[in-house]
Amino acid sequence: MSTFDNISSSRSGDKALLIFNCYTWLIYRCQGFKIKSMGRVINYLIFLFFFIFIGYVFGIKELKVYKVISSSMSPTLIINDRVMAIKSSNFKRKDIVAIKDPTGRNEILIKRIIGLPGENITVKNGYVYINGERLEEPYIKEKPIYTLSIKIPPDCYFLLGDNRNNSEDSSTWGPVKKEMIVGKVICCYWPIKRFKIFISKK
């Protein structure tokens, strides 16, 4: 699936996301040719321009920043990484999202969407299966050692951390209601050496 699939432009947050994805797609295509060969000063200027651009596109109300507080998303995100998230009503499999802690703690957690509303999720033999089809997951730290099987209720999502065996997620609390998702993570912006843009692909 391409970068632009399943993006709705019916709401302001999703319109901003569409523009951002167009911009980041160009960066993604050009990274190997330009950014790696630039000096430190130029990299910082690009970094500054990036902040100005997304601030202009999203506005303060659409954009939030969060600090990663656990290793549950390692190796994709590690403790003390800073990420940016935007409000969205359109979520896809493998999106990284910020959610309210389902246990009631006053914390924001970062997880990855694995299962969508109405799907059957099975975890067995170290793999995740969606409606019986194995999900390819090159981003995980290690294969899960647990097993589970669940059907996701309407308007809910099944979320897991990339560090499967060291993550408090839907394998513990079950599916999460859509209203608990506060934003879609679009990039890790700090530290600069770990700067990365998250482009969802199916």
Question: How many CA atoms, within 13 angstroms, populate the side-chain half-sphere of residue 42?
Answer: 6
Which residues neighbour 106 within 8 Å (Cβ) at sequence distance 6 or greater? none
Catalytic residue among 72, 88, 170, 200: 72
Q: For the chain, how many helices (H) and strands (E)? A: 3, 12
Q: Does residue 200 contact residue 92 with C-beta atoms inside 8 Å? A: yes
Active site residue 111: yes
Whether omega before 75 lies within 30 degrees of 0, making that bond cis, reads: yes
**Count of residues in the chain:** 202
Rg (CA), the chain: 17
Among the listed residues 111, 167, 184, 200, the single catalytic one is 111
Which of 17, 13, 15 is closest to 3 using CA atoms?
17
Residue 3 buriedness (CB in 10 A; 0-12 / 13-18 / 19+): middle
Residues recognised as catalytic: 72, 111
